[in-house]
Structure 1
Amino acid sequence: MSRAWWLLLGLVGASLIPLALGGREMLDQVLEFPLDSLLIMFGMICLCWLINAQKLRVLLNGRAGEIGQAQSVGIIMASEFAFYATPGGTGGPLTLMALLARHGMRPAQSSAIFAVDQLSDLLFFLCALAAVLVFTLSHSVSPNLEMSLITSGVLLGGLFFGVVLLARFQRRVIRANGRLLRRLGMKSRARLHWARKLLHFRDTLLSSLRQPRRRLALIFFLTCCHWTLRFSVLYLVLSAMNVDLHWAWTFLIQLISLAAGLAMLLPGGAGGTELTSAALLAPLVGKSTAAAAILIWRVVTYYFYLVMGAPVFALLAGRPLLRKLMGARESA
């Protein structure tokens, strides 16, 4: 459990970053923050869980049997807890696949479901960034945000273009992957085993994408609802602190900060997210206000996920899966 303790220390250290940035004045603003606004934001996160649970049921389309609303909410909460509690969010998809396997879904099927979900997220962020870009054409923007917007657009656009190329040249990619594994010394039987898994994943993914347009539109609509709520938290925090900052800038700050945090491969982007958001937000609203807003924002969108998701994860997944995700060795 030593690794878990190091991760816990990292989380505590990350939570102290806003305090170091804002000092006593930041604490005063946090203590004066309206309780009703905080409760509303916690309610928004609960609504996000309900939306994602409904999206999961739409994605499954009965392929995992009859999963009720409570079960789907539990799967979402446990998966998101694992995402925020593991480096780089790697535990999220693994937990989702493990829980869906208990409902009879093969790993290739559940991973295809996860891939469709990620493609829907990617499409939303591309559309949202395009809308922010149009907004900036008629509004002045700081050089930091302008460069961040361009960088984010290039990265997301490149990622989307890469997905399109992968879909277009999938056969060549599969063959190239087989040749690479052969050069690495993998036996022919093992290569055949992984090739079958990859082909099954591809077929399941294509089957999911060939669903009726209404169902795909519903999936994208639920995705938009979830991320719009999720990325409105920082805007509402600042509004409750009587800070007038447009939603577009808060969206961009959150997107860049969360991406930077994940790139550091720490649980929930701890440390990197706080530092990046502080660097972008402080020039706009001041250090103490930025520090207070970041602390409240992270409590709602990160620590709340851990506190509420931990018991659900323990109930549905259990300690063995947690040890596997944390990389700890089980005792004999």
Structure 2
Amino acid sequence: MPVPSAAKPQRLLRFRPLHGVLLLAALVAPLVLTSLAGGSKAFEHVAQFPIGLLVLMIAMAALCWNLNAARLRLMLNGRAGQLGQRGALGIELAAKCALCATPGGSGGPATLLLLLAQRGFSPSKGTAVFLIDQGCDLLFFLLMLSGLVAMSVFGDAQWPHQGLVQLSLLGLALLAVGVSLMMGYLPKLLRTQRQWLAWIRPSRRRWLVRRLLRCRHALRMTLALPKATLAAMLALTTLHWLLRYSLLYLAVIGIGGHADWLWTFLTQMLAMAASQFSFLPGGAGAAEVGVGSLLLPLMGREQAAAAVLVWRLISYHLYLAAGAPLLLFYSARMLRQR
């Protein structure tokens, strides 16, 4: 969970050639992988995708942007001046574009902090807003993971690779429980049990400790919110992710495939977690391969490749296309002010 410093905002205005190369690779990666996996038939499926369903997916993506903008307004609670839905939507799109355009999403939180600072919101308070935002997402996925584990173990869900999925979910659940316990007792562990990190070199150890403490701080700040505010934010978070993770299900339907909605949701959770290990912006490459491989047991290779391509066009490329003009506008305005 990278939390940037807003002390040097000029860093956000620099363009490095390497970033451009990586972004270009991320943009063409879905097309290359689709061509390799499905060939010309995959692109035929994409060309025959129902226009009405495509418009619905775009509308759902736009609704997700507005839900996040409403959540941002709720978190700021009037502390960043008169921020209407349009202004919050502009900040949301610009920050998400920066997140999608940088490796590891490092540009997203930094851009958010800088845009909030332009409205007189101090970097420390902006960092707190970012941490609460991450805490809400983390709470949602912990709850969803718990439900998926219960359904796979005690329910009658019939998923591809049932045994492997159950083991994966149980492993993730145990990991989540272990991390939760560690977060609760983290300060005590760091004071009394220093040897458990002794095998990591000092510089890497400090990096890890900082991020663990920030993650713990995010959860504490989120849970300390007034109950009504926390409930409203969690409701917006839940609706956002349910809509966002329904895009793959609609993409599968549009290319003539058949898959359970819950399976596509689980597919995206696992694949997007794996995409964190990709060095390309937006987790390009890892996300497509992960989702495509989990869809293959349910449909042909050409259909899976086509569904993944449509899904990435809406869930990734559309974010870049919608946010890029706003990011350029805000950057140009800040340069003029400087």
**TM-score per shorter chain, which class?**
0.7 to 0.9
Deviations 1:196-241 (A, max 9, x none): xxx9999998566433201101110000000000000011111223
Q: TM-score, normalised by structure 1?
A: 0.81
Q: Residue 305 of structure 2 corresponds to which residue in structure 1?
A: 291
1:4 and 2:40 aligned: no
- Measured after TM superposition, the shift of residue 173 of structure 1 is 4.5
289, 304, 316: which is aligned to 2:318? 304
- Measured after TM superposition, the shift of residue 124 of structure 1 is 1.1
2:134 touches 2:218 (CA, 8 Å); kept in 1? no
* Count of matched residue pairs: 306
- Bigger CA drift: 212-221 or 59-68? 59-68
Distance 1:48 1:54 in 2: 10
- Bigger CA drift: 44-53 or 108-117? 108-117
Q: Residue 282 of structure 2 corresponds to which residue in structure 1?
A: 268
Distance 1:263 1:92 in 2: 17
- Measured after TM superposition, the shift of residue 297 of structure 1 is 0.3
Q: Residue 34 of structure 1 corresponds to which residue in structure 2?
A: 50
Mapping of residues 1-332 of structure 1, within 5 Å? 1-11=16-26, 12-136=28-152, 137-143=155-161, 146-148=163-165, 150-151=167-168, 154-155=171-172, 158-159=175-176, 161-163=178-180, 165-170=182-187, 173=190, 209-318=223-332
Question: Residues 153 and 298 from structure 1, CA distance in 2 versus in 1: closer, same or farther, beyond 3 angstroms?
Answer: farther
**Aligned-pair identity (%):** 37
Gaps (5+ residues) in structure 1?
186-194, 322-332
Secondary structure of the residue aligned to 1:317 is helix
Question: Residues 159 and 104 from structure 1, CA distance in 2 versus in 1: closer, same or farther, beyond 3 angstroms?
Answer: farther
Q: TM-score, normalised by structure 2?
A: 0.80
Distance 1:200 1:253 in 2: 28
Secondary structure of the residue aligned to 1:88 is helix
Distance 2:292 2:166 in 1: 16
What is the RMSD computed on CA atoms of the aligned residues? 3.2
Deviations 1:94-144 (A, max 9, x none): 11111111122222221221111112111211222233333333022222x
- Bigger CA drift: 288-297 or 128-137? 128-137
- Bigger CA drift: 45-54 or 310-319? 310-319
2:23 touches 2:281 (CA, 8 Å); kept in 1? no
Amino acid at match of 1:166: M
Distance 2:319 2:135 in 1: 23
Distance 2:232 2:295 in 1: 34
2:99 touches 2:109 (CA, 8 Å); kept in 1? yes
Question: Residues 318 and 162 from structure 1, CA distance in 2 versus in 1: closer, same or farther, beyond 3 angstroms?
Answer: farther
Question: Residues 93 and 154 from structure 1, CA distance in 2 versus in 1: closer, same or farther, beyond 3 angstroms?
Answer: farther
- Bigger CA drift: 212-221 or 257-266? 257-266
- Bigger CA drift: 125-134 or 97-106? 125-134
Question: Residues 36 and 3 from structure 1, CA distance in 2 versus in 1: closer, same or farther, beyond 3 angstroms?
Answer: same
- Measured after TM superposition, the shift of residue 64 of structure 1 is 1.9
Amino acid at match of 1:311: P
Distance 1:205 1:29 in 2: 43
Gaps (5+ residues) in structure 2?
1-15, 204-209
Question: Residues 160 and 66 from structure 1, CA distance in 2 versus in 1: closer, same or farther, beyond 3 angstroms?
Answer: farther
